[in-house]
Amino acid sequence: MATPKPALKALVFDVFGTVVDWRGSLIREGRRLGKRRNLELDWAAFADAWRAGYKPAMARVRSGELPWTTIDRLHRMILEDLLRRFGIRGLSEADKFEFNRAWHRLAPWPDARAGLARLKRRYVIATLSNGNVALLVNMARHAGLPWDTVICAELFHHYKPDPEAYLGTAALLDLAPAQVMLVAAHKDDLRAAAACGLKTGFVPRPLEKGPTSEPDTKPEGDFTVNAKDFVDLARRLGA
Amino acid sequence: MATPKPALKALVFDVFGTVVDWRGSLIREGRRLGKRRNLELDWAAFADAWRAGYKPAMARVRSGELPWTTIDRLHRMILEDLLRRFGIRGLSEADKFEFNRAWHRLAPWPDARAGLARLKRRYVIATLSNGNVALLVNMARHAGLPWDTVICAELFHHYKPDPEAYLGTAALLDLAPAQVMLVAAHKDDLRAAAACGLKTGFVPRPLEKGPTSEPDTKPEGDFTVNAKDFVDLARRLGA
């Protein structure tokens, strides 16, 4: 059946770092745990190490070394390793379960909710995250993110930047790749999406990796849109 | 990892007939098309025939006679057949595409929105429908249904009542089946969910098949909850 294929219909969002501030949230959660369990620790270093374990863990799944494993489980595997490396002992199973769930409670960047609400009036908005469904649903409820639906690597058993994740998302939305825009703060994610035919929206998050980091926040001519934040993105997309 | 498994966490909803009034909506859409294209027709009979084609079409997928096929495409196959049977000629491809999209624009029962909003405060709420993702996302936007996420047969390539649909839904929500309740107006759907360990919420929709039908609306002791409508369901579930 011939489907009319007009312009942009849906925006799909990278989540960790683009929509939510994983680092600030994990540091707060770490301090809270430290207070409760009497742990003296550099929680910023702990947060950075937790996140640093993420790409190598996904690479083990992408290469086939590990069978399909959700981010919740990968986060927990990395956590167990970090507890040893940071010399943290005596946490109960419930402590560890709850701390791992910090990833379900990440706080949105200040412009995220307002920008998404505005974009939703004109476009379908969904996640396109390496997080798993339960994590993203819990995060949306906690942070007030008004997704039309949650789409993620778990649905395809392929982590970004595997093309299956980008093409599978367009297929589930019954759209051509060019009718879908990936919004992300990470240029490698956007370039992988563009290679699959998706449109690209770059939103820099200069504080993602902390106040002393120097991430690449330069706009690029090959992205469909470069915006300052989600509210600016809505304005540029006529929403 | 040991996950705490308390009581009910998520409600998942059958959609066609339980959340939305497919029959009334299709009749209205048919009359609108008839006016525009000068067609005299019994649109109630047409709507009933369209819906009657649904289970046999899914059965062809469930048996393996057809490869995985979305409801959008099954609806279109049935539509083509009905246009012949009802002697309707001269519709353009755009007419047929738009008429098939009537399934994306079904109207909610009067209590649905308010009941879902109340239930969402306490529980994760999601679809568990044989509709496809794009259909359910478009319907939610059109009808104002506040799902946390859209879950459906398309994600599992299994139509209800295949157990994969019920068990796959609990797995995506990272819940045990007993932490999930299927809400439906159809007893066969509820019994298939119960066989997979899900809790069951029966909400009768006496008008689903029209004012002269006599559907089975009797409460049953083997369902977890019998409610009058979604607002009554929220009250009974403490939401």
Is A2 a domain residue? no
- Give the Cα separation of B120 and B115 in Å (integer): 9
Residue A60, number of CB atoms within 10 A of its CB: 14
- The total domain count for chain B is 2
Enumerate chain B positions whose Cβ falls within 8 A of a Cβ in A: 1-4, 70, 72-73, 76, 93-94, 96-97, 100, 124, 126, 132-134, 136-138, 140-141, 147-151, 154-155, 172-175
Domain of A30, in residue numbers: 22-104
Q: What's the pLDDT score for residue B6?
A: 59
**What average pLDDT does range B51-66 have in this prediction?**
96
Shortest CA distance from B140: residue in chain A: A148
Tell me what the pLDDT averaged over chain B comes to: 96
Lateral strand order in the sheet of B180-184: B124-127, B10-13, B180-184, B199-202, B225-226
A43 shares its domain with A58: yes
Give me the phi and psi of B152, to 5 degrees please. -165, 170
B95 shares its domain with B122: no
Angle between helices A43-52 and A54-62 (to 10 degrees): 20
Structure tokens at B24: 């009334």
Q: How confident is the model at residue A31 (pLDDT cuts 50, 70, 90)?
A: very high
Enumerate chain A positions whose Cβ falls within 8 A of a Cβ in B: 1-4, 70, 72-73, 76, 93-94, 96-97, 100, 124, 126, 132-134, 136-138, 140-141, 147-151, 154-155, 172-175
> The CATH number of the domain where B27 resides is what?
1.10.150.240
Residue A231 has pLDDT above 80, yes or no: yes
Among all chains, which residue has been given the structure tokens 């309707």?
B88
Structure tokens at B83: 């246009």
Q: CA-based Rg of chain A, rounded to a whole angstrom?
A: 18
Shortest CA distance from B171: residue in chain A: A134
Question: Which residues of chain B are within 8 Å of residue A73 when distances are taken between CB atoms?
Answer: 1
Interface contact B137-A147, CB threshold 8 A: no
3-class state of residue A78 by DSSP: helix
ipTM: 0.95
Structure tokens at B239: 């939401």
Give the one of A137, A154, A172 whose C-beta lies nearest to B133's C-beta.
Answer: A172
Q: What's the pLDDT score for residue A133?
A: 98
Q: What's the pLDDT score for residue A6?
A: 59
Give the one of B1, B136, B174 whose C-beta lies nearest to A134's C-beta.
Answer: B174
- Give the Cα separation of A201 and A230 in Å (integer): 10
- Give the Cα separation of B185 and B202 in Å (integer): 6
Contacts 24+ apart (CB under 8 A), A162-166: A162/A62, A163/A192, A163/A195, A163/A196, A165/A128, A166/A128, A166/A192, A166/A193, A166/A196, A166/A198
B121 shares its domain with B172: yes
Q: Which of B15, B9, B19, B57 is nearest to B165 (CA)?
A: B15
Let me know: does B15 contact B208? Beta carbons within 8 Å: no
B126 shares its domain with B199: yes
A53 shares its domain with A167: no
B90 shares its domain with B125: no
Let me know: does B96 contact B84? Beta carbons within 8 Å: no
pLDDT, tens digit, 9 for 90 and up, residues A96-148:
999 999 999 999 999 999 999 999 999 999 999 999 999 999 999 999 999 99
Shortest CA distance from B71: residue in chain A: A174
B80 shares its domain with B174: no
Residue B221 has pLDDT above 70, yes or no: yes
